[in-house]
Structure 1
Amino acid sequence: MAARRAVSTAVDVVALHVSPVHAYEGRPGDGPRPDPGPVSRDQVAVRAGLGLVGDRYFNHPAHRLAAVTVFAAEALEHVAGRLGLAGAPDPLVVRRNVVLRGFDVDGLARRAVFSLDSGDGPVRFEVHRPANPCAWMDAVIAPGAFKALRGRGGKRCVPLDDGVLRLGPATLVVR
């Protein structure tokens, strides 16, 4: 059996989010909880097997294989087009940790290993399951967003390396 060739893609890291608490709890009709502080970051520290330093899922036993969520910005453009919105929603509303432009994140298979290098060296991640959207999307984006994001919610991953991710140009390699 031949070894699979690594595929390298130039991407942009357009958003990085670290949130110490869950903003979407309770009923969507009641609105999201206010964030305790800025959750958007210019850079994030990644720890192997644990997640993103400062995030609510960091070293959380129930989320060890799903500590980091990766999402494609193009999914928000799809939602905007499908719902007739004036522009793509802010990536913060989907509450995903790493938002990329230029790669089909949802096309990654379970157990796929990919790396992201935004200038400080590659950080590998293993995909474990889809990051399915929730009904909150209808409340924070627009009615119909939940349905429009089905199959486009990103992936839940476990980091395999320590490292740093930064906003801006990056290289994504699928092994």
Structure 2
Amino acid sequence: MTVSDDCGLAMVKGTSHVGISVSDLDATLGFYRDAFEMQTVAEIAFDETTENGRYEQILGIKGARGRAVLLRVGSMQVELFEFSHPAPKRADPSRPVSDNGISHFCIEVSDIEMHCARLQAAGATFHCSPLVFFGRSKATYLRDPEGNVIELYEKIAAVEADQG
């Protein structure tokens, strides 16, 4: 399939944010703020009456109640949700990335080793040390305190790749 600029897809501007449902908003919020230096953009407590029921509608959950925080660093935004109703079903924090559904999201960094050290100190667990791919990038997967998988990615020069 060939996609041309005149077929309407050019109207997509990019990714706005990643949304993550968590069991402990305060702890997870601290992790993302400290580990990635994210800033809080917005905080809200919501229920079925918030915004005239729009949260209930967009979430597709009758009687939805909880809290949400939107964080930003650079152009990357992460929205964290903690639901008080309905009672959430906790995800397996060690679920494999091969399970169907969104398996991870990726954050591009400029110094992957420095970020790995910072994230490990903040409580992240890593699948492996950063690896060189195709001589052009370094990457690794890590898990936040809730078990969500994040890829750290760094573009590298070909000369550096030969030394790695």
TM-score range, shorter chain: under 0.3
Structure 1 or 2: more helix by fraction: 2
Question: Which one has a bigger Cα radius of gyration?
Answer: 2
Query: Greater RCO between the two (CA within 8 Å, min separation 6)?
Result: 1
TM-score normalised by structure 2 residue count: 0.27
